[in-house]
Chains A and B, each alone.
Chain A
Amino acid sequence: MNITNLKLREMRDLLDKKSISAIELTQEYLNRINKFDDKIQSYITVTEDLAMDSAKKAQEKIDNGNTNPLCGIPISIKDNICTNGIKTTCASKSLENFIPPYNATVVDKLDSQNAVMLGKTNLDEFAIGATTQSSVFAKTKNPFDLSKVPGGSSGGSAASVSASLCAASIASDTGGSLRQPAALCGVTGLKPTYGRVSRHGLVAIASSMDQIGAIAKDAHDCAFILNTIAGFDCNDATSSKAEVIDFTSKIGESIKGLKIAIPKEFYDSNIGINSEVKNSVLAAAEKYKKMGAELVECCLPSLKYAVATYLILSSAEAASNLSRIDGIKYGHRSTRGENFNELIINSRTEGFGDEVKRRILLGNFVLSIEQYDDYYKKALALRQRFITEYADIFEKCDVILTPTTLSTAARTDENISTPFKTYLDNICTVSSDIASLPAISTTCGYDSNGMPIGMSIIGKKFDEATIVQVADAFEKSFNAVSPELI
């Protein structure tokens, strides 16, 4: 038995029974990282010494009878989440040597349970992108096929879970950044409701949509982690005071009578959905029907405007958020620049990559006085329309089932000449971010090349427990495959 193939909660049992120590478990993962991550390149920084120290402390806690859910569990953290004293680069030259002087709230929460951080995972620069190829440090590969992308922006997190280089990963989602790579790497990604998890210490891109969540081997593990990281935080005024329930509480309950909405627009060939993906998700829907759920056909008429709305809102917010990076307080500081303005311009120009620059330009374009009404205000109005259309569906249904992506993972050499074409590929995920809804992606099949296909279950606001229940019901009857690493 390879222990790293186990689910997080199975490791918990072994740790509690003293069948394995936190030190042995951590060492096992570090060995795998040393052996395989040269090929996969899922980590930017591996915190080996720190991990072993944390494992020793965790083991002491376990020996003293402490069985906090994540005590001694080795996890990875996306490198846009601040870790006190440990580099947090956002995969950008502009933050190449940035060492945060504080922890993100989620990191404090993990530390308080003595979770073991193995390292910081790769991402698209500033979490802007869907391939993890725009990182300046590494181009992460898909563990199922090293010639293919892992998705993004949390490609490092998803690949590290998929390749069993950690038990789970903490990642972020703004337009699908957590669910899309989870789908393409054959693992499960849970994006909670906006506000469910504190964003304090998450390097902000689009503050009205950014949300931290978990990627793990299954829905149960994701919920297990959410139990630890959820909750109000006085350092994030947009975090919610909604009651933090046990998100695993509905697991195992029958889904008989549950109403699953199937919005036809997500399955329309006009949006460019691959037939294998469509058939696989619809087959999963039929499986739910056999379990006693009721499938309800419905509409999300504004879906075709989702990518445009998302691009406008997220770029406007990104342009504003990234204006704080000036090379003076922190981050890359140019050696050129005769005056204040030149120093800032040169620092930013040298520090940011092409895609980040394009989004900043787009953001400032839609916010400029001549364009503001036509683009930004209209996108704000459309956001309200999405909220209303989703609310209409949820009046009649409990959850919504959609594909997570239009197709399976692309080759690493695709899309390089026309990166903006990939924007349209996010159509299946962005609308739930626009409407602040929780969503979970889990594997529902494999294409003819053996690449994973993901489906998403979208829930009502703060109803993560139900989407976890629904995802888990499918996973229990599905034979998920792990990638073979050589």
Chain B
Amino acid sequence: MKNAKLFNTLNKIAIFYKSEVLKLDLKMISHLSNLSKLSFTDNELEKLSSDMSSIIEIVDIIKEVDIVYNPLSDNKNVNINDLREDVAKESMATEKILMNAINSDNCFVVPKVVE
């Protein structure tokens, strides 16, 4: 009887923690979705939460490395070679730039942004 009670208590704690983690993960995924300008249904968020956890598990291996980023000595991989002379050049024609967009009076069309 005592064991059954203990089991129930432990089970409740386990469910509490599980839902806490899931809730936290969903909150994080929702936050990231907003940052990423993406939207997901509740079901999709649940699945993403599980998928993203698996991906984070893969990248978490780098946490075991004792290394600190030094902006002076690191990140020398990409060499910026030569920037163009600051000389005005003919740019692409407006109709070409707009050929993949809704073109209205040679402007991009967006929903109303000013009331």
Contacts and interface: CB of A to CB of B under 8 A. Distances in A.
> Which of B29, B38, B96, B113 has most chain A Cβ within 10 Å?
B38
A420 B99 contact: no
A304 B61 contact: yes
A305 B67 CA distance: 12
Contacts of B55: 311, 358, 362, 420, 423
A346 B59 contact: no
A383 B77 contact: yes
Interface string A187-224: 00000001100000000000010000000000000000
> Which of B40, B62, B67 has most chain A Cβ within 10 Å?
B62
A340 B111 contact: yes
B4 interface: no
Contacts of A241: 81-82
Contacts of A309: 62
Contacts of A361: 29, 32-33, 36, 38, 48, 52
Contacts of A352: 38
A329 B75 contact: no
Contact of B59 (A312, A329, A385): A312
Contacts of A98: 100
Contact of B58 (A345, A424, A436): A424
Contacts of B81: 195, 232, 237-241
Contacts of A358: 48, 51-52, 55
20 contacts: A194-B77, A208-B77, A238-B78, A238-B79, A307-B58, A326-B37, A329-B100, A340-B113, A342-B111, A343-B110, A348-B36, A349-B40, A357-B38, A357-B48, A358-B51, A358-B55, A360-B36, A361-B48, A375-B59, A384-B75
Interface string B78-97: 11111110000000100011
B75 A328 contact: no
A451 interface: no
B111 A101 contact: no
A208 B113 CA distance: 35
A248 interface: no
Nearest to B35: A364
Interface string B22-51: 000000110011011111100000001001
Interface string B92-115: 100011011110000011111100
A383 B62 CA distance: 12
B73 interface: yes
A102 interface: yes
> Which of B39, B68, B81 has most chain A Cβ within 10 Å?
B81
Interface residues of A, number: 74
Nearest to B93: A101
Contacts of A258: none
A384 B37 CA distance: 32
| Interface residues of chain B: helix, strand, loop or mixed (majority) | loop
B6 interface: no
A101 B74 contact: no
Contacts of A18: none
Contacts of A304: 61
Size bin of chain B's contact surface: 35 or more
B8 interface: no
B80 to A, nearest CB: 6
Given A305-B61, A308-B62, A328-B101, A384 B76 contact: yes
B101 A338 contact: no
Interface in A69-100: 97-99
B58 A308 contact: yes
Contacts of B19: none
Given A333-B102, A361-B33, A366-B59, A381 B79 contact: no
A385 B61 contact: no
A312 B60 CA distance: 10
A364 B32 contact: yes
B38 A345 contact: yes
Contacts of A343: 110-111
A345 B61 contact: no
Contact of B80 (A238, A340, A364): A238
B64 to A, nearest CB: 9
A360 B38 contact: yes
Given A240-B81, A360-B36, A423-B55, A330 B100 contact: yes
A345 B70 CA distance: 36
Given A101-B99, A241-B82, A311 B58 contact: yes
A319 to B, nearest CB: 7
Nearest to A304: B61
A435 interface: yes
Contacts of A362: 52, 55-56, 59
B1 interface: no
Given A352-B38, A382-B65, A340 B110 contact: yes
A378 interface: yes
Contacts of A420: 51, 54-55, 58
